[in-house]
Chain A
Amino acid sequence: MALSKQEIAQRIAQELQDKWYVNLGIGIPTLVANYIPKNIDVVFQSENGMLGMGPFPIEGEEDADLINAGKQTVTILKGGSLFDSAMSFAMIRGQHVQLTVLGAMEVSQNGDIANWKIPGKMVKGMGGAMDLVASAENIIVAMMHTDKSGASKLLKRCSLPLTGVNCVKKVVTNLAYLEIKNNAFYLIERAPGVSVEEIKAATEGTLIVEGEIPEMKF
């Protein structure tokens, strides 16, 4: 069975390490916050100017002056801090944030990512994505393995305008967990019940399969 969006987030959450500062993008990445392993402490950074982002406020306690980068009302946890946008991106470019999780329309086998623009369609903008991917030490991309027509989104080369180059090292899709190195996708884990052949068929880029590939564990 291919993973649900929640399960993709759950698998990514297993990659979190104790004492990491983490920036979660909009969409599937936001769900990662629901699956933080019990025995570790992580702090979420919201690039509009907050460390220690907490859950949505209790109904009636929403504050127009406390939102996340998706413009949603949120709360701030004890020990959190607030700052301006220049300082926020200093944290990001200065590699003080250990992990960025974001979505993608396409990823290529050399680690390029495209996630902000489809030619001919309304372009909304890159927001902070270009700063995040250009700087983060660890980037995990959360995405569907194929588009709605079944075409692979893990490619030899991205066809869409790029957000960043040579930056993605890990990808978790609805079918697999893959690492990007040596100009190829290395298959690390399969979604439960998904065969290596299915993953091969859904991957346009070079896929390296070394030995027995285990299933993900949840």
Chain B
Amino acid sequence: MINKVVNNAQDALLGVENGMTFMLGGFGLCGIPENCISELVRLGVSNLTCISNNAGVDDFGLGLLLKKHQIKKMISSYVGENEEFERQMLSGEMDVELIPQGTLAERCRATGAGIPAFYTPAGYGTEVAEGKETREFNGKMYVLEHAFNPEFAFVKAWKGDTAGNLIFKGTARNFNPMMAMAGKITVAEVEELVEAGELDPNQIHTPGIFVQRIFQGKDYEKRIEQRTVTPKS
């Protein structure tokens, strides 16, 4: 079996340069590649275009890259929880492209699936569709949306094996599987790295073919954004 293992985040991010386009998995702070983000901060690469559903919070997730002005452009569906983001967006320091969440997901999937573009009903008749091709199918209007072209995709899984197979947990799956498919180089960080053969092939969410580098992550904070509970009765 092909071995995809690298020692750490530092080795996993070899080849990362200024001006590149990255995909980063996660929904809010759930399922984000914490180790890769820390390493991007350490490397100090800048002028980045980041494709990620959200932009983290001020002091965690992609917020850490924002704080150091490493991001030139964000492509997201919702960016509401971050004051520094707002400041940089309103001052024009950073570009933001907001796209519907399902369109974002499908554009990621299309990227990895060899589909250059597809029609979706989302955003028809709104400013999201401005300047885009539209077409009628069976009496309903659709907008043409294109695949991305990222140099790297950074994803985070619960378990992975040395062959790059990944299993996600709970709603931490979110955008990670499609982004894993889409990266020219896909880096997977996992909470638990095991030998090939230890994961049940029936349970694999992302087959190892989509993963070029995998490493055992460390020091996961897994911060909760909105802690909502039912009081003990």
Contacts and interface: CB of A to CB of B under 8 A. Distances in A.
A98 interface: no
A38 interface: no
B28 interface: yes
A48 interface: yes
Contacts of B126: 130, 161-165
Contacts of B79: 124-125
Nearest to B85: A122
Contacts of A61: 229
A20 B209 CA distance: 37
A84 B173 contact: yes
A12 to B, nearest CB: 21
B28 A71 contact: yes
A56 B171 contact: no
Nearest to B31: A65
Interface string A89-128: 1001100000000000000000010000000001111111
Contact of B121 (A67, A135, A161): A135
A85 B105 contact: yes
Contacts of A92: 102
A71 B30 CA distance: 8
Interface in B97-142: 98, 100-106, 108-109, 120-128
Name the interface size band of chain A: 35 or more
B178 A164 contact: no
B53 interface: yes
A85 B101 contact: yes
A177 B190 CA distance: 50
A130 B230 contact: no
Contacts of B176: 84
B98 A126 contact: yes
Given A67-B225, A131-B103, A93 B122 contact: yes
Contacts of A165: 124-126
B31 A134 contact: no
B27 interface: yes
A123 B27 CA distance: 18
Contacts of B81: 71
Interface string B217-233: 00000111111111110
Contacts of A130: 100, 102-103, 122-123, 126, 128
B11 interface: no
A135 B122 contact: yes
A56 B128 contact: no
B11 to A, nearest CB: 26
Contacts of B227: 62, 72-73
Contact of B174 (A49, A56, A74): A49
B150 to A, nearest CB: 16
A57 B30 contact: no
B226 A72 contact: yes
Nearest to B86: A122
Given A131-B102, A131-B103, A164-B125, A65 B170 contact: yes
Contacts of A74: 228
Contact of A89 (B105, B205, B222): B105
7 contacts: A48-B174, A49-B173, A64-B29, A67-B28, A71-B27, A85-B178, A131-B122
